[in-house]
């Protein structure tokens, strides 16, 4: 059959020449490659002291955003949990009381919101599903290692952002990103 | 006279499917009998007398009035209010005109709608969502302020979000026909029309909870279910009980082990099979109150079917070998298959 990659080689049972039978030239050649790498620039970094730069659209740890007034955007609509292929998200909704008006954007909010980082595959579908632009996968952090399985269940204490950043700063907006859509799409957001 | 007992049947063609129906049948009913290309209905409810004719989502084109008078009807007609004629030819989704008109109707229905589906408890079983998804446009062209209302509690169990109402009158007909005394209706006219109980008087009737089921949108919702769960995280099962007041045939909506909501059973058109009483709906929320009949069939197009699995195929039957003797015919056959 014709090779699709064009790199197919047929195995032939040919006799080795005298030079090949000596082995020594091949060993010296191999040592030379090894030694070259001793003195070359190292390809690894000393994590966690040194960290690599993440690509702009890297999908790291989730963050639950607040809006410009500091109110939580998430309204516990459950669409992220529905879209999640790993079933990593759970939530419990509650009704906002009059005193909490500034804390939550809508009359319903997530009293409990948990993501199991052991289940999560960081696909970003939750971010895509969210109608309120509440959940984003940051490009700055990854889920840290831990000793206890229970510690991988991130609740609102870890997920809700402490300080508000405008949405556009979170991930570099490619042509298909929400930010790009809202800045350039010129459509009025109905929500 | 005797011969007239056998009724005359009229034939009507809807989107190329022909069916024979009794005179007096509406086009929508005939389409439902065919079961394909059924026009959507937001206000018509076959169990409520006089319903229909309000929302115009069921518009169809009549391209031939009847055999005797084959002229087309000049305008699109509401299929829930138009009765068939013999030899009538109707176009539903095959007519671009109908599609365009329906998109317009959806736009009108959404003019004042808050589109707060992420918050609304009806999301996932809302007919307006389905309609908008199937026939609506992507964007709104409306630029004015939408009318808004405060939420109103109608009695201890029912909540009215007037902002979401599409004024289909179904709940008004329900209160008129199912319950003995109507205490809620539509006040004012035109753009100012709203559903209200006079001075927010509670509906105090044993069957008042049915307005929740007939409401196609999230305007009338169950207060005992408010924000408990999104419907696609719940599991519906068919259950029944011996109720003196109603049929006792309901759907229980489970979250885990807990019954978080009781509704009437809905048929494939989203209409209740039989109305249920408030005791069944609001007070029997323990599994021990009910006899479970089995899981509710959920349409695979519905979001509620996410993560719900149904056994689709028959289990394969493994032939039983009666004898383990190597001469047994079934062994020989197995060998043949292996070779
Ligand atoms: S990134 Fe993907 S797997 Fe992780 S929580 Fe979101 S949807 Fe689920
Ligand atoms: S994060 Fe977004 S999608 Fe998830 S529940 Fe909150 S609002 Fe809905
Ligand atoms: S409250 Fe619901 S059932 Fe009543 S008119 Fe409004 S949309 Fe129709
Ligand atoms: S269903 Fe026919 S007009 Fe509403």
Write the pLDDT tens digit of every residue in B202-234: 566 788 888 899 999 999 999 999 999 999 999
Which phi and psi (to 5°) does residue B260 adopt?
-100, -10
For residues B210 and B197, give the distance between their C-alpha atoms in angstroms, rounded to a whole number: 16
Determine, yes or no, domain membership for A5: no
For residues B291 and B241, give the distance between their C-alpha atoms in angstroms, rounded to a whole number: 6
Same-domain status, B72 and B157: no
| pLDDT score recorded for residue A167 | 53
Round the average pLDDT of chain A to a whole number and report it: 83
Ligand 1 binding pocket includes A120 (Cβ within 6 Å): yes
| pLDDT score recorded for residue B229 | 93
Contact A75 B119 (CB under 8 A): yes
Q: What is the residue with the minimal CA distance to atom 3 of ligand 2?
A: A130
When mean pLDDT is compared across A99-103, A105-109, A184-188, B68-72, the lowest value belongs to A184-188
Tokens of B285: 């929320």
For residues B285 and A182, give the distance between their C-alpha atoms in angstroms, rounded to a whole number: 45
% of chain B exceeding 70 in pLDDT: 86
| pLDDT score recorded for residue B200 | 52
Interface residue B233 vs chain A (CB under 8 A): yes
Ligand 1 binding pocket includes A115 (Cβ within 6 Å): yes
Tokens of A37: 């790498």
pLDDT interval class at A157 (50, 70, 90): very high
| pLDDT score recorded for residue A77 | 94
| pLDDT score recorded for residue A165 | 65
Residue whose pair of structure tokens reads 């509406």 in the numeric block = B26
Report whether pLDDT(A147) > 80: yes
CATH of the domain at A140: 3.30.70.3270
How far is the alpha carbon of B139 from chain A, nearest alpha carbon, in Å? Answer: 8
In sequence order, the 6+-apart residues with CB closer than 8 A to the CB of A64 are A72, A73, A74, A113, A134, A135, A156, A159, A160, A161
**pLDDT per residue as tens digits for the range A48-76:** 888 888 888 889 999 999 988 889 999 99
**pLDDT per residue as tens digits for the range B111-122:** 999 989 999 999
The distance of Cα B176 from the centroid of its chain, to the nearest Å, equals: 20
Determine, yes or no, domain membership for A2: no
Question: Alpha carbon of B231 to those of B4, B265, B267, B303: distances in Å?
Answer: 51, 15, 17, 9
| pLDDT score recorded for residue A175 | 40
Round the average pLDDT of chain B to a whole number and report it: 86
Determine, yes or no, domain membership for A130: yes
Q: What is the residue with the minimal CA distance to atom 6 of ligand 1?
A: A126
Cβ proximity of B159 and B151 under 8 Å: yes
Determine, yes or no, domain membership for B318: no
The alpha carbon of A124 and the centre of ligand 1 are apart by a number of angstroms equal to 5
How far is the alpha carbon of A121 from chain B, nearest alpha carbon, in Å? Answer: 18
In sequence order, the 6+-apart residues with CB closer than 8 A to the CB of B298 are B236, B304, B305, B308
| Pick from A166, A143, A169: nearest CA to A69 | A166
Ligand 4 binding pocket includes B269 (Cβ within 6 Å): no
In sequence order, the 6+-apart residues with CB closer than 8 A to the CB of A4 are none
Interface residue B230 vs chain A (CB under 8 A): yes
For residues A189 and B206, give the distance between their C-alpha atoms in angstroms, rounded to a whole number: 43
Range of the domain at A79: 15-191
Determine, yes or no, domain membership for A118: yes
With a CB-CB cutoff of 8 Å, which residues 276-315 of chain B face chain A?
303, 306
**pLDDT per residue as tens digits for the range B57-112:** 999 999 999 988 899 999 999 999 999 999 999 999 999 999 999 999 999 999 99
pLDDT interval class at A162 (50, 70, 90): confident
| Pick from B41, B40, B33: nearest CA to B9 | B33
| Pick from B256, B190, B189, B184: nearest CA to B214 | B184
Range of the domain at B283: 231-307
Per the structure, the count of domains in chain A is 1
The alpha carbon of B165 and the centre of ligand 3 are apart by a number of angstroms equal to 5
pLDDT interval class at B187 (50, 70, 90): confident
When mean pLDDT is compared across A38-47, B132-141, B328-337, the lowest value belongs to B328-337
pLDDT interval class at A191 (50, 70, 90): very low
Interface residue B153 vs chain A (CB under 8 A): no
Determine, yes or no, domain membership for B187: yes
**Residues B50, B51, B55, B61: what is their CA dihedral angle, to the nearest 10 degrees?**
-70
Report whether pLDDT(B8) > 90: no
Cβ proximity of B214 and B158 under 8 Å: no
Reported ipTM: the value is: 0.77
The alpha carbon of A186 and the centre of ligand 3 are apart by a number of angstroms equal to 34
Same-domain status, B215 and B277: no
Determine, yes or no, domain membership for B73: yes
Sheet with B235-240: list strands edge to edge: B258-264, B249-255, B235-240, B291-295
Determine, yes or no, domain membership for B286: yes
Tokens of B333: 């056959």
For residues B206 and A61, give the distance between their C-alpha atoms in angstroms, rounded to a whole number: 52
Cβ proximity of B50 and B24 under 8 Å: no
The 3-state secondary structure of chain A, one letter per residue: CCCCCCCCCCCCCCCCCHHHHHCHHHHHHHHHHHHHHHHCCCCCCCCCCCCCCCCCCCCCCEEECECCCCCECCCCCCHHHHHCCCCCEEEEEEECCCCCCCCECCCEEEEEEEEECCCCCCCCHHHHHCCCCCEEECCCCCCCCCCCHHHHEECHHHHECCCCCCHHHCCCCCCCCHHHHHHHCCCCCCC
Report whether pLDDT(B324) > 50: yes
Q: What is the residue with the minimal CA distance to atom 8 of ligand 2?
A: A77
Same-domain status, B209 and B173: yes
What are the chain A neighbours of B137 within 8 Å (beta carbons)? none
Report whether pLDDT(A178) > 60: no
Contact A131 B139 (CB under 8 A): no
Same-domain status, B132 and B214: yes
Contact A93 B227 (CB under 8 A): yes
For residues B34 and A128, give the distance between their C-alpha atoms in angstroms, rounded to a whole number: 39
Per the structure, the count of domains in chain B is 3
Contact A191 B232 (CB under 8 A): no
DSSP letter for each residue of B257-282: TEEEEEEE-B-TTS-BSS---HIIII
Same-domain status, B88 and B146: no
User: B186: helix, coil or strand?
Assistant: strand
Residue whose pair of structure tokens reads 């069939």 in the numeric block = B297
For residues B227 and B94, give the distance between their C-alpha atoms in angstroms, rounded to a whole number: 40
The alpha carbon of B49 and the centre of ligand 4 are apart by a number of angstroms equal to 13
What are the chain B neighbours of A93 within 8 Å (beta carbons)? 227-229
Where does a domain end: B80, B99, B118?
B99
pLDDT interval class at B285 (50, 70, 90): very high
The alpha carbon of B170 and the centre of ligand 3 are apart by a number of angstroms equal to 6
Determine, yes or no, domain membership for B312: no
Report whether pLDDT(B338) > 80: no
| pLDDT score recorded for residue A18 | 86
The distance of Cα B232 from the centroid of its chain, to the nearest Å, equals: 16
Same-domain status, B140 and B193: yes
How far is the alpha carbon of B226 from chain A, nearest alpha carbon, in Å? Answer: 9
What are the chain A neighbours of B125 within 8 Å (beta carbons)? none
| pLDDT score recorded for residue A176 | 42
* CB-nearest partner of A132 from B115, B118, B226: B118
């Amino acid at each position: 059959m014709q090779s699709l990659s064009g790199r197919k080689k047929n195995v032939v049972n040919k006799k080795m020449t005298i030079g090949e039978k000596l082995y020594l030239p091949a060993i010296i050649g191999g040592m030379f490659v090894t030694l070259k790498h001793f003195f070359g620039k190292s390809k690894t970094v000393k994590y966690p002291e040194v960290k690599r730069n993440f690509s702009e659209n890297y999908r790291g740890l989730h963050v639950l955003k607040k809006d410009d007034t500091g109110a939580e955007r998430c309204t516990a609509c459950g669409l992220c949990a529905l879209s999640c292929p790993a079933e990593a998200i759970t939530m419990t909704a509650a009704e906002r009381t009059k005193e909490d008006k500034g804390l939550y954007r809508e009359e319903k909010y997530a009293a409990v919101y948990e993501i199991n980082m052991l289940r999560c595959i960081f696909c970003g579908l939750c971010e895509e599903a969210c109608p309120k632009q509440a959940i984003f996968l940051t490009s700055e952090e990854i889920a840290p290692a831990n000793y206890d399985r229970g510690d991988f269940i991130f609740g609102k204490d870890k997920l809700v952002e402490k300080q508000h950043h405008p949405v556009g700063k979170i991930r570099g907006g490619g042509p298909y990103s929400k930010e790009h859509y809202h800045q350039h799409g010129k459509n009025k957001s109905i929500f | 006279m005797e011969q007239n007992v056998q009724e005359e049947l009229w034939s009507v063609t809807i989107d190329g499917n022909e069916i024979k129906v009794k005179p007096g049948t509406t086009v929508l009913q005939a389409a439902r009998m065919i079961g394909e290309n059924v026009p959507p209905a937001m206000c018509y409810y076959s169990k409520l007398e006089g319903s229909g004719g309000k929302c115009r989502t069921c518009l169809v084109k009549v391209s031939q009035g009847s055999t005797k008078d084959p002229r087309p009807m000049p305008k699109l007609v509401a299929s829930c209010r138009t009765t068939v004629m013999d030899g009538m030819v109707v176009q539903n989704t095959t007519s671009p005109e109908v599609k365009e008109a329906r998109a317009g109707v959806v736009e009108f229905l959404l003019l004042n709608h808050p589109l707060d589906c992420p918050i609304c408890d009806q999301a996932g079983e809302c007919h307006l969502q389905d309609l908008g998804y199937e026939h609506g446009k992507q964007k709104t062209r409306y630029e004015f302020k939408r009318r808004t209302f405060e939420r109103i509690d109608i009695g201890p169990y029912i909540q009215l979000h007037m902002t979401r109402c599409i004024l289909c009158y179904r709940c008004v007909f329900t209160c008129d026909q199912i319950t003995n005394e109507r205490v809620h209706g539509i006040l004012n006219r035109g753009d100012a029309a709203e559903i209200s109980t006079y001075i927010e008087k509670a509906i105090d009737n044993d069957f008042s909870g049915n307005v929740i089921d007939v409401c196609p949108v999230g305007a009338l919702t169950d207060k005992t279910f408010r924000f408990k769960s999104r419907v696609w995280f719940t599991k519906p099962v068919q259950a029944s009980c011996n109720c003196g007041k109603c049929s006792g045939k309901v759907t229980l909506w489970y979250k885990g082990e807990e019954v978080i909501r009781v509704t009437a059973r809905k048929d494939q058109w989203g209409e209740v099979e039989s109305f249920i009483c408030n005791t069944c709906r609001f007070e029997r929320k323990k599994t021990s109150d009910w006899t479970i009949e089995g899981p509710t069939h959920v349409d695979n197009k519905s979001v509620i079917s996410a993560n719900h699995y149904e056994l689709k195929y028959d289990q394969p039957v493994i032939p039983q070998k009666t004898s383990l003797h190597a001469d047994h015919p079934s062994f020989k056959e197995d060998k043949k298959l292996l070779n």
